[in-house]
Structure 1
Amino acid sequence: MPTKPSMASFTLNPLLYLLPLLFLDPLFSQANLHNSKTLLRSSLFSQPSSTNETIPPALFFEVTKPIQVPHTNPCSLTVLQHDFGFTYGKSPVLANYNFPSDCPFQEFSKIVLEWNATCKGRQFDRIFGVWLSGVELLRSCTAEPRATGIFWTVKKDVTRYSSLLLSNKTQTFAVYLGNLVDKTYTGVYHVNVSLYFYPAVEKMDLFKEKRRNLGSGIDSEADLIIPFSRDLPLNDGLWYEIQNSNDVKVKKFQIPQNVYRAVLEVYVSFHENDEFWYGNLPNEYIAANNLTGYAGNGPFREVVVSLDGDVIGAVWPFTVVFTGGINPLLWRPISAIGSFDLPTYDIEITPFLGNLLDGKPHNLSFSVTNALNVWYIDANLHLWLDSKSEKTEGKLLQYDIVPLGVSSVLDFKGLNGTFITNTTRFISSTGWVTSSYGTVTTKATQDLSYSNTMVINGNLQIIDQVTHSNDSVNVNIPALNAISKKSLKRFLFYMYSDEIDQGNDTSLSVANVTLGFKEKKFNDADAGSPSSLLRNLQKGKGVMVVKDNLVVRGVASTQQSYNYHGGKFCYSRNVSSSNYTILYDEVGDTCNKRSKSCFLFGLRRWWPVPARRAFLASHVVDPNGN
């Protein structure tokens, strides 16, 4: 970021010098190995410190609700064990996968993938992916280790991939985690990947059973999954790499002739010059100030999915912050929302089956609006097959797309200014499919809106962003009530970041961050009350002292409020940490009782209040509370 004169009125709190050295690893997020210069990524390195063998490894975690599984013993399978040392630029680690032959059960209510990893030393955060027969099962980021070691676990419900996981043929299981180990970066990731198959012991809910048997495909797993990823062998992940806004990745495919429903699941992550796309500068500002080395193209990004050249869906991604992002101390041990299990995005393409059921190959393509290098994208096409028919037929009845609407206000003088970006997108498609279930008409709609306000004043940058994503699917079956589902999502991101010159080659780095993920789901799109509600809000604040490009001291704290209400199942967790230490952790699972919040600065509010430098500096304390 452009520099500014030191602030004589702001002096460094002497308590900072009483803080011990807090971490060993570099302070810029490196989810891949390529360096880039952005406003949110620094090139700072921490001073070495000795290892205290008496300190146990730290548990890192992402706050999320537990997976509901039946109270039975599952069949288990260890799929892969590997030590990821110098693996960057090498082939993914491969293993043969077979459904466990000694498992006595035939039907399963839940399948869970579990990733367990440990690491010790100094290492960047690394992006990684897990695939089975080219179908991605998990996209995640590693935790950044400390000298005394860390460990973490990721559990993901992978039941939707049942048709693949329960197949009786040998398949290729692949994990790519590009890591680098040398004299400086010593951390090796020791990984164990397992699957747990829970037998179906309870009768299906009558409401879900009715919906499943009506031919809508809703509330059931797909019969076939087609991957849209790169083919092995590779010396990289199986994802496609989008390098710029003109880069389009295309894959040819053909579907069976008896499909009656189709859903595209998209995996997305962003890196290098676009890791912090939501804070990228407008090109006009960069040109007017003759800046070099700063990420541009503004703060809006959109993943566009096209079928045979026509846009059929869009993804406006959640602002995942990797474990080394912005201020790494914020994410120890509480990881940022979505960093250990990156969200995926579903696009209903059933209305387009009339075009796809012609027995010919078709092209599916991916691009990213305003992209800089690099985006990792792949997708899984979930297909439902009519077991009683060799051929289904369909027709696209209506296709409405409102071109991307973008409005921007650029108000700057020199290096200081305010930038406002607003965008909207609407996509709607309707089509029918005739199968043994009869003629079923499906309407799918995406209604998206986005707003980003960015303020720059010298080294100070404030970002205030909100994204709304409203998706709905309506299925009409003759002589029966319509089936519908709706999802309303709201993504929040707020950041206050500043670097303050203290003289003597010393600076104070201040960051205040808010992440919010809210989703309402409706089993009936016209219902007044949602069938489930998730409110996940995270706030962090941190200060680092930097001298001669080395981190000398720092302090950071993170608070998170997670509340899920799903009717019969509810879960809440309020947790706070500071410099690896959990300050409090309250867990609740009662649906009719509101969980108590201990947050001291309004975590229950869905809109953050701008931080102040004086507040952050005057509240820095050492680990002993002095």
Structure 2
Amino acid sequence: MLPRGSFSRCLAVAGLALTLGGVAQAAPDGSSPVGSGNVTVADPTVPRPQGQPCAVQLFSDDTFNDYSPRPFQYTPPAGCGTRWSKVVLEGDFSITAGVQYDRTATVFLGGVNLYFGTTQEPGSTEGRNWHIERDLTDYSALFRRAGTGQAFIGNIVNSIYTGVLHGSARLLFYPASVVAPAPRVPDAVYPLGSDPVGSTVTLNNSSSQMAATLTLPANVERAYLDVFTQSQSNDEFWYVCVPDQYAAEAQECGGGNFREAEVSIDGQPAGVAPVYPWIYTGGVDLYIWKPTPGVQTLNFMPYRVDLTPFAGMLSNGSPHTVAVSVQGANSYFSATASLLVYQDQGAKQVSGALLRNTLVGQSPTPTIGSTLQQDSSGNVNGAVTTNLSRHFVIEGYVDTSHGRVTTTVDQTVGFADTQSFAITATDYHQITDQLTSVEGVSRSRIGRFLSGEFKARFRYPLHVDSDQVTESNGDYSILTKIKQGYDQHTGLSLGGFPLYSADVHNHVAGSDTLVLNSSFHILSHSGQQATQDFAFHDSLGSCYRGSVSSANNLVTAYRIGQDCPGGQNRVLWFSHPDGSPYLGDSLLPW
């Protein structure tokens, strides 16, 4: 029997030999991609206000064929002011035909991450190209000064791995206007990590930390941390692993499958960031992701942690260490994070304190259970369960120029995973059912008046069904079915009255059957089919619907907007239909 964990690693290499595909772009000009094998997604682009933006090219048609970063110089846009209604990063990437792995891609400026994602694998005779966007309006303070940045896509090109990556990226600045005013954005952005230009930090185990020791301004009134944690190497398939004590019996990778990012300030627990189970385009079964990759595969979204209860402490003039670790990391996770700070414009110095923190003392240690049983013939049946739920409240206050502001972060984080196994001499069947969830609310009070309330709910469902059969001739037939989702609900209230709410749903499902020989080389694949459904709506009437379907690695259906009123997508320019974090600060009264 071929161990399941070993198969996951072998497949990434074996799968490079056979590829189907086409050359069509994901319909940027409104044409239909049906019949194409090129990258096609249902994700929305970042909505924009009307008007002509100022553009700053970061890099243009750079070639990525080694492990050296590609530096660039940034200069703020001329004649465009320093306050913008929207700032958008646009990136266009491509890979030539041939053989190549999926690669991690990042763009940094002044140590701050602007983009984090992975690349599409190429076809053996046809290349691939794709487009990404990220709303960076909250990072406006970073763009008001010149700086040095770099793009990095580590890639090997030789006689075996022949696919060459190319990329371009630019920033678009939309000037503020009466109809599209500039929102109140953070006054400063600080990267976590020691590289002044920018790179990810490797977290090999639960004790590894990405940290920055900062002396912040003396008038911090709010603070947030945007966190990315991406699985790599042995951790790439963390979501199908089992605790070490069951690894041999289940013939699966050890190390467990609970992963969670822990945020601390001066060693004190300060928040939690869930880890999304991103699946890359060479992951599990590479044909499932042609032409449509998994949820956020090419363009990760950060998770925003509210650190405002610590604002008073952060303003006391002393250096403070903000750190991120990944509980359960098993060699390894790549991480980056950015601290966003709002300052009190009416005071040079504020004071405050942390009032309570019930996250302290709550260990992120899941409960493990097992019903695995092995009979006299060596057959194994049963399941391994991993569960953890924590509720915590963190509260602190800041005495500002507009009064004492008390912020309470009340949050419940959950993780539930069941790994089911049915193993015989000729059949290895594993089913992964996993749900990561977060539900919380941040409340701000000025005195006794409830000034603002921000609710957020996230659900990351994942289902992986892999049935590996050993044929009579020694070949392996592997049927894989995968479903993954990203569900987000956010809501903003002012003075106790609901003001705005939004929902994002991004779901991808696919299946494929691989046939490998005894040397793990792919002989064929069949039955590939996949769908992506993306939906967004908000309480102000925005609606976005998109879907794409494929069979045999060609797009068979593509629908954009038909399921919205009037058969057309209508999205307000300030909304976040892609699921990127927002704060609603342009609407807050203080």
Measure how far apart 1:246 and its partner are: 2.8
Q: Do residues 581 (structure 1) and 554 (structure 2) align? A: yes
Measure how far apart 1:175 and its partner are: 1.2
Alpha-carbon separation, structure 2, partners of 1:364 and 1:75: 34
Measure how far apart 1:304 and its partner are: 1.0
3-state SS of 1:476 partner:
strand
Q: Which residue of 2 aligns with 1:374?
A: 332
Q: Is the 8 A contact 1:577 1:583 kept in 2?
A: yes
Q: Is the 8 A contact 1:44 1:549 kept in 2?
A: no
Change (3 A) 1:119 1:489: same
Alpha-carbon separation, structure 2, partners of 1:80 and 1:535: 32
| Residue of 130, 137, 155 corresponding to 2:114 | 137
Q: Do residues 424 (structure 1) and 425 (structure 2) align? A: no
Q: Which residue of 2 aligns with 1:19?
A: none
Measure how far apart 1:269 and its partner are: 0.5
| Residue of 145, 155, 161 corresponding to 2:133 | 155
Give the letter aligned to residue 418 of structure 1.
A
Alpha-carbon separation, structure 2, partners of 1:406 and 1:52: 42
Alpha-carbon separation, structure 1, partners of 2:565 and 2:22: 46
**Deviation >6 Å, runs of 4+:** 49-57, 525-530, 593-596
Q: Do residues 545 (structure 1) and 515 (structure 2) align? A: yes
Q: Which residue of 2 aligns with 1:226?
A: 190
Q: Deviations over 1:446-499 (max 9, x none)?
A: 211111111122221100111210131101124754210000111100010122
Of 316-325 and 53-62, more deviation after overlay is shown by 53-62
| Residue of 26, 31, 51 corresponding to 1:72 | 51
Q: Is the 8 A contact 1:278 1:319 kept in 2?
A: yes
| Residue of 454, 469, 474 corresponding to 1:485 | 454
3-state SS of 1:352 partner:
helix
Alpha-carbon separation, structure 2, partners of 1:465 and 1:563: 22
Identical amino acids, percent of aligned pairs: 26
Measure how far apart 1:550 and its partner are: 2.1
Q: Which residue of 1 aligns with 2:368?
A: 408
Q: Do residues 340 (structure 1) and 302 (structure 2) align? A: no
Q: Deviations over 1:543-601 (max 9, x none)?
A: 112234322221311112211101331100122012331111111177557999xxxxx
Measure how far apart 1:97 and its partner are: 0.4
Alpha-carbon separation, structure 1, partners of 2:404 and 2:454: 19
Measure how far apart 1:117 and its partner are: 1.2
> With structure 2 as the length reference, what TM-score do the two structures score?
0.85
Change (3 A) 1:40 1:451: farther
Alpha-carbon separation, structure 2, partners of 1:43 and 1:118: 20
Cα root mean square deviation, aligned: 2.8
> With structure 1 as the length reference, what TM-score do the two structures score?
0.81
Alpha-carbon separation, structure 2, partners of 1:247 and 1:479: 41
3-state SS of 2:211 partner:
strand
| Residue of 271, 276, 293 corresponding to 1:318 | 276
Of 267-276 and 195-204, more deviation after overlay is shown by 195-204
Change (3 A) 1:536 1:150: same
3-state SS of 2:313 partner:
helix
Alpha-carbon separation, structure 2, partners of 1:339 and 1:544: 22
3-state SS of 1:163 partner:
helix
Alpha-carbon separation, structure 2, partners of 1:416 and 1:148: 43
Alpha-carbon separation, structure 2, partners of 1:60 and 1:126: 15
Give the letter aligned to residue 428 of structure 1.
V
Give the letter aligned to residue 154 of structure 1.
I
Give the letter aligned to residue 157 of structure 2.
V
Change (3 A) 1:108 1:43: closer
3-state SS of 1:60 partner:
coil
3-state SS of 2:456 partner:
strand
Q: Do residues 564 (structure 1) and 524 (structure 2) align? A: no
Match runs of 1:142-541 below 5 Å: 142-146=119-123, 147-165=125-143, 167=144, 169-203=145-179, 220-232=184-196, 238-286=199-247, 295-401=253-359, 402-404=362-364, 406-414=366-374, 415-458=380-423, 459-478=428-447, 480-524=449-493, 531-541=501-511
Listed as ranges, the gaps of 5+ residues in structure 1 are: 5-35, 210-218, 597-626
Alpha-carbon separation, structure 2, partners of 1:512 and 1:360: 53
Q: Which residue of 2 aligns with 1:113?
A: 89
Alpha-carbon separation, structure 2, partners of 1:139 and 1:390: 35
Give the letter aligned to residue 140 of structure 1.
G
Q: Is the 8 A contact 1:405 1:424 kept in 2?
A: no
Change (3 A) 1:283 1:358: same
Give the letter aligned to residue 505 of structure 2.
R
Q: Is the 8 A contact 1:511 1:543 kept in 2?
A: yes
Change (3 A) 1:440 1:124: same
Measure how far apart 1:536 and its partner are: 1.8
Alpha-carbon separation, structure 1, partners of 2:535 and 2:19: 40
Alpha-carbon separation, structure 1, partners of 2:436 and 2:158: 41
Q: Is the 8 A contact 1:507 1:546 kept in 2?
A: yes
Q: Is the 8 A contact 2:94 2:166 kept in 1?
A: yes
Alpha-carbon separation, structure 2, partners of 1:316 and 1:104: 37
Q: Is the 8 A contact 1:83 1:188 kept in 2?
A: no
Change (3 A) 1:269 1:55: closer
Give the letter aligned to residue 135 of structure 2.
D
Q: Deviations over 1:578-625 (max 9, x none)?
A: 2331111111177557999xxxxxxxxxxxxxxxxxxxxxxxxxxxxx
Measure how far apart 1:173 and its partner are: 1.4
Q: Is the 8 A contact 2:91 2:167 kept in 1?
A: yes
Measure how far apart 1:44 and its partner are: 5.0
Q: Is the 8 A contact 1:85 1:187 kept in 2?
A: no
Q: Deviations over 1:270-318 (max 9, x none)?
A: 11111111111221112567x6xx5312111111111111111111212
Q: Do residues 59 (structure 1) and 38 (structure 2) align? A: yes
Change (3 A) 1:106 1:315: closer
Alpha-carbon separation, structure 2, partners of 1:52 and 1:406: 42
Aligned residues: 542
Listed as ranges, the gaps of 5+ residues in structure 2 are: 26-35, 375-379, 570-590
Q: Which residue of 1 aligns with 2:585?
A: none
Alpha-carbon separation, structure 1, partners of 2:311 and 2:158: 51
Alpha-carbon separation, structure 2, partners of 1:512 and 1:275: 18
Change (3 A) 1:48 1:464: closer
Q: Which residue of 2 aligns with 1:620?
A: none
Change (3 A) 1:260 1:578: same
Q: Is the 8 A contact 2:42 2:547 kept in 1?
A: no
Alpha-carbon separation, structure 2, partners of 1:463 and 1:491: 13
Q: Is the 8 A contact 1:539 1:558 kept in 2?
A: yes
Q: Is the 8 A contact 2:492 2:498 kept in 1?
A: no
Of 67-76 and 523-532, more deviation after overlay is shown by 523-532
Alpha-carbon separation, structure 1, partners of 2:19 and 2:195: 44
Give the letter aligned to residue 418 of structure 2.
T
Measure how far apart 1:245 and its partner are: 2.3
Q: Do residues 124 (structure 1) and 101 (structure 2) align? A: yes
Alpha-carbon separation, structure 2, partners of 1:432 and 1:284: 45
Measure how far apart 1:422 and its partner are: 1.1
3-state SS of 2:493 partner:
coil
Give the letter aligned to residue 563 of structure 1.
A
Alpha-carbon separation, structure 2, partners of 1:552 and 1:488: 44
Give the letter aligned to residue 105 of structure 2.
F
